Amino acid sequence: MSTRFTIARLGAQGDGIAVAEGGEVFIPFTLPAETVTAARQKDRAALMSVLEASPLRVEPPCRHFTECGGCALQHFETEAYRKWKRERVVQALKAKGIACEIDALVPCAPQTRRRVVFSARRTEAGMLLGFVRALSSEIIPIEECPISLPAIVASLGRLRRLADLVCATQKAFHMTVTVTASGLDVAVQDAGKLGDNQRRIASNFVMAEGLARLSVDGEIIVEPKKPVVQFGSVAVAVPPGAFLQATEAAEQAMAGLVGQHLSRAKKVADLFAGCGSFALRLAAKSEVHAVEGDAPALAALDRAFRFASGLKRVTSERRDLFRRPLTFKELNGFDGLVFDPPRAGAEDQSKQIARSDVPVVAAVSCNPVTLARDLRILLDGGYQLKSVTPIDQFLWSPHVEAVALLEKPKRRR
């Protein structure tokens, strides 16, 4: 049974919110001021039809939009979409009492995402490869993806065949595909235990199709070419399933802001350093101490530094910064710092930074809410916020990156 709703505003996940009897109702793929009909179930409703469309509604560029679960906002006019995404950062900071001019959003172009996680499952009709429908376990097979690099889209057929070759389970599994300078790096998770014959057939397929590497649950099955990415002037051979920023352009924008802010620092700490996207760039001018909990990522960073030329000294330390953050006394040995934690943020580490004397700090985050919490801690510890730049690298999704730059005035002796 459908009900008529008027959309009041967009929520944090990009759903339209209507105020109705019994409370707010979240309706995906709608826009403010629209009148729609939708089938309600508790606080959510499935869009049935748009009776009165917003002038900001546009034709989605992808045939799979509303089904595949990947994009939430393809129907939103570009400038209004960017304004809304910037506003997510504004409102998160405002909620923590942080007043600061927020820079314009650094936009994300279509066809630039270099790392995609597909879901796959074998069915009676064949191998499904695609994305999971929102709030569901149903895999929607895809034939196009306007956010992904063309190299990924052009390989959908062979990736589907490879998924079939490595599948040893009736359950759904995941396939992370990364575009590297060497070709596609494919990391499979939870597909079951490969038999010897499967390994041989899959390896032959990878080599015949010119893929760079196939790994299953972290084990390299075959690696015809080491997958390499470029961080500034440094080539890094990344481990299987390594975390990378979703788009190269966003990574460069973030690295540019961080590098400029820390350009006068002689000794820099890079916390949650990953494979070195900041550390190896910063090492062109500064000594860097890179701290990361993931051993393969840290090993890749260290190896890249040792084979690079023209860099200052880079040291590395494996450390779980959630359980054992660097103390303020340890941090006082640095005159610059960047931290780029997962979505949960870095609350305990921020408390130590706030107590430190590090004069310049760059905070990078993919979650405006936890960024605002961590910035509040730093501001209460005496830091001053110089700028906040939102960066869109998750096109047509509700997610937004941000780079916040801070300084701490020297204490009077």
Residue 148 DSSP code = B
> Which backbone phi and psi does 120 adopt, to 5 degrees?
-145, 150
Supply the DSSP string of 363-394, one letter for each residue.
EEES-HHHHHHHHHHHHHTT-EEEEEEEE--S
71 is annotated as an active-site residue: no
Supply the DSSP string of 104-127, one letter for each residue.
PPB---SS-B-EEEEEEEEETTEE
Supply the DSSP string of 329-360, one letter for each residue.
HHHTT-SEEEE---TT--HHHHHHHHHS--SE
292 annotated ligand-binding residue: yes
Contact 229, 219 (CB under 8 A): no
79 burial level (CB within 10 Å; 0-12, 13-18, 19+): exposed
Show the tokens assigned to 31: 């826009």
Which alpha helices (H) appear in 7-97, and where do they start and end? 78-95
Question: Tokens 């440094």 belong to which residue?
Answer: 234
Chain Cα centroid distance, residue 183: 21
Q: Please give the angle made by the CA atoms of 30, 32 and 35, to the nearest 5 degrees.
A: 65
Show the tokens assigned to 359: 């004069």
Among residues 62, 108, 275, 366, which one is catalytic?
A: 366
Specify which residues 387 forms β-bridges with.
405
Please report which helix (H) or strand (E) contains residue 260, including its range: helix 248-261
What does the alpha-carbon distance between residue 43 and residue 401 come to, in Å, rounded to a whole number?
A: 28
Number of Cβ within a 10 Å radius of residue 22: 8
Sequence ranges of the binding site for S-adenosyl-L-methionine: 245, 272, 292, 340
Sequence ranges of the binding site: 245, 272, 292, 340
Active site residues: 366
